[in-house]
Amino acid sequence: MKGSTIALILGGGQGTRLFPLTKLRSKPAVPIAGKYRLVDIPISNCLNSDIRRIYVLTQFNSHSLNRHIKNTYNFDVFSSGFVDILAAEQTPESKNWYQGTADAVRQSMHHMRNKDHKHVAILSGDQLYQMDYQDMIAEHEEKDADLTVATIPVNAEDATGFGIMKTDEEGAIERFIEKPDKEQLSEWQSEVPEKFSNEGRNYLASMGIYIFKEEILTELLDKYEDSTDFGKEIIPKAIETDYRVQSFEFDGYWTDIGTIKSFFEANLALTDDLPQFNLYDNEDFIYTRARLLPASKLSGTTFDHSVLAEGCLIEASRIERSVIGIRSRIGKGTTIERSIIMGNDYFQSREELDESDEDNPPLEIGQRCFISNAIIDKNCSIGDDVRIAGGDHLEDGDYGEYHVVDGIVIVPKRSVIPDGTKI
């Protein structure tokens, strides 16, 4: 099995549901957990599963994603492994940009023809989970499946946002429905392990993770040449016809980072005493760019249930239930709670800090600020005595220097919030 699989990680489209975090970057390039990017998750899962031939398909706002991958994933000259970027391109066969997940893979297949492989793993670039894909591949081969779909039990509320499966006793997928209405759910319940049924998670949802036989993937993409999406078109058509489509039931932690709310909650969940997503593992590492940053420094700060990345200079009074990203600077007397501070891309020199003024403010959160239920994107300047208090009392919308989504205040990348601002 090892060495027989090529992985394709889908870089995603415009990521409108994660806007404004995707205003200047693609979804997989969005920072997470203080020091990583979302794309580090599937790449790390591949490397931990001994899948070392990886393509990342990109199209929208892909510069920072391309730069991150180029600077992070380099194999030695004695390895056949690679992490290559396949940007959308015009070819004699196609003059169009990627029209969907299946179309992106279809347009990229010619890059893999000279690579010997039995299986193709199709992965999403915006999910948070840890999986050994070799377990899925082993079951795929054992059942002699043409296609295996990773599934996970979800509750009725979440089921309306996913493709929902029904399987037989052998785990073969017999029926599929994309984003069912609440009225349809009663006929789509499945038998699931007791720990899931006790939580009301009785519906098998597609995780958007697929293992194809190489020749079957080519056949399906050719056969349904007008189909542009795996979840909406290719997978249902394969189930309806004579293909062997199998479910691989995953029982670990998994969350789709598709919205601002899910992104916010997934980050804050990392501050739990025992988070479900385990960053502290001796074997299943999460890889990212090695920045060689100094240790963070805290001065007079009460720090509770929070994550602190490297290279930070913190003089805040209190930080609680928050994620503080790389190179963050936070001034005296400031309180931060239930917030994500993404930090900075570079250190400012002492000369730059000494010369800062209203027209050229420092990249930091100033003194005596209060920040709650907020996301402060990278390279922002938050002045002194600023109060940002997100919550349900705020109306969603674009307010120029900040946005509100589901009550969460988002300050976009490189924004400046003047002294004394109240949000």
pLDDT surpasses 70 at 97: no
Asked if 256 and 381 sit in the same domain, the reply is no
Q: Which of 229, 254, 269 is the last residue of a domain?
A: 269
Asked if 249 and 310 sit in the same domain, the reply is no
Rounded CA gap, 52 and 73, in Å?
10
The verdict on pTM exceeding 0.85 is: yes
Residue 278 located in a structural domain: no
210 pLDDT tier (thresholds 50, 70, 90)? very high
pLDDT per residue as tens digits for the range 254-268: 998 989 999 999 999
pLDDT surpasses 70 at 15: no
Asked if 345 and 208 sit in the same domain, the reply is no
pLDDT surpasses 70 at 278: yes
Of 163, 167, 166, nearest in space to 209 by CA = 163
Predicted local confidence at residue 96, as pLDDT = 66
Asked if 10 and 54 sit in the same domain, the reply is yes
95 pLDDT tier (thresholds 50, 70, 90)? low
Q: Which of 25-29, 77-81, 168-172 is predicted with the least confidence, judged by mean pLDDT? A: 77-81
Of 84, 413, 384, 104, nearest in space to 231 by CA = 104
Asked if 195 and 234 sit in the same domain, the reply is yes
Q: Which phi and psi angles does 44 have, rounded to 5°?
A: -65, -40
Residue 303 located in a structural domain: yes
Residue 279 located in a structural domain: no
pLDDT surpasses 60 at 363: yes
The residue ranking higher by pLDDT, 178 or 1, is: 178
Give me the domain span that covers residue 250: 5-269
Asked if 242 and 338 sit in the same domain, the reply is no
Asked if 265 and 304 sit in the same domain, the reply is no
Asked if 33 and 97 sit in the same domain, the reply is yes
Q: Which of 269, 284, 316 is the last residue of a domain?
A: 269
The residue ranking higher by pLDDT, 284 or 264, is: 264
Residue 284 located in a structural domain: no
Residue 277 located in a structural domain: no
Using only the alpha carbons of the chain, give its radius of gyration.
23
Number of domains in the chain: 2
Residue 58 located in a structural domain: yes
pLDDT per residue as tens digits for the range 219-249: 999 999 888 889 889 999 999 888 999 999 9
Asked if 169 and 301 sit in the same domain, the reply is no
The residue ranking higher by pLDDT, 212 or 186, is: 212
pLDDT surpasses 90 at 213: yes
Q: Which of 217, 249, 269 is the last residue of a domain?
A: 269
SS (H, E, C) the chain: CCCCEEEEEECCCCCHHHCCCCCCCCHHHCEECCCEECCHHHHHHHHHCCCCEEEEEECCCCHHHHHHHHHHCCCCCCCCCEEEEEECCCCCCCCCCCCCHHHHHHHHHHHHCCCCCCEEEEEECCEEECCCHHHHHHHHHHCCCCEEEEEEEECHHHHCCCEEEEECCCCEEEEEEECCCHHHHHHHCCCCCHHHHCCCCCEEEEEEEEEEEHHHHHHHHHHCCCCCCHHHHHHHHHHHCCCCEEEEECCCCEEECCCHHHHHHHHHHCCCCCCCCCCCCCCCCCCCCCCCCCCCEECCCEEECCEECCCCEECCCEEECCEECCCCEECCCCEEEEEEECCCCCCCCHHHHHCCCCCCCCCCECCCCEEEEEEECCCCEECCCCEEECCCCCCCEECCCCEEECCEEEECCCCEECCCCEC
Asked if 72 and 204 sit in the same domain, the reply is yes
Residue 291 located in a structural domain: no
Predicted local confidence at residue 40, as pLDDT = 96
Q: Which phi and psi angles does 356 have, rounded to 5°?
A: -65, 145
Mean pLDDT within 409-421: 96
Asked if 264 and 332 sit in the same domain, the reply is no
CA distances to 1, 276, 319 from 250, rounded to whole Å, are 20, 14, 35
Q: At what angle do helices 214-223 and 101-108 cross, to 10 degrees?
A: 110
pLDDT surpasses 90 at 183: no
Residue 274 located in a structural domain: no
Rounded CA gap, 405 and 392, in Å?
10
Asked if 80 and 173 sit in the same domain, the reply is yes
CATH code of 302's domain: 2.160.10.10
CATH code of 174's domain: 3.90.550.10
